Amino acid sequence: MAAVDIVQAYVAALPGETRRLGHAEWGLTLPPASAGGHALDMSLRIEQELLRAQAFALPAQEGVEPWLLLHWNRQTRIVRLACTRSGDIWVHGDLPVAAVDEKTVDRLLGLVVEGAIAVRSYAASASSASSA
């Protein structure tokens, strides 16, 4: 089965809001209860022999040092954190298309969500510490 078909079947079976944006591109939104208290918008795209996932984890804000988060990349598997020039935090992950099956898609999305929740937890604790 082609990677596009595997991802389509996986995304279509997910609960909640999912959408097919193009032939090899999908969007999904996790509810706040599943994403650390705030809805999490994610996208999947097959491009250049990679399945890429990304999620907007956190907008730039006082008390959050985005450069500290980049050190977390040494500890992550498959996914990594990225920071825009304005300080917004994103979680990205890639898999080779040849490795795509239902289990690896689930793992990739799970790790992206786990990364976003970790960033949001860090921001919440940094906010609590600065207001104390």
Residue 131 is predicted with a pLDDT of: 64
65 phi and psi, to 5 degrees? Answer: -95, 100
Give per-residue pLDDT as tens, 27-83: 999 999 888 888 999 999 999 999 999 999 999 988 888 778 778 888 888 999 999
Q: Which residue has the higher pLDDT, 3 or 62?
A: 3
Helix (H) or strand (E) holding 115: helix 102-131
Provide the pLDDT confidence category of residue 12 given band limits of 50, 70 and 90: very high
Residue 3 is predicted with a pLDDT of: 96
Rounded distance, CA 80 to CA 57, Å? 12
- Pick from 50, 27, 23, 52: nearest CA to 39: 27
Give per-residue pLDDT as tens, 88-123: 999 999 999 999 999 999 999 999 999 999 999 988
pLDDT of residue 132 exceeding 60, the answer is no
Residue 34 is predicted with a pLDDT of: 86
**3-131 classified as CATH 1.10.10.10:** no
| Torsion sign over Cα 85, 80, 70, 29 | positive
Rounded distance, CA 43 to CA 87, Å? 20
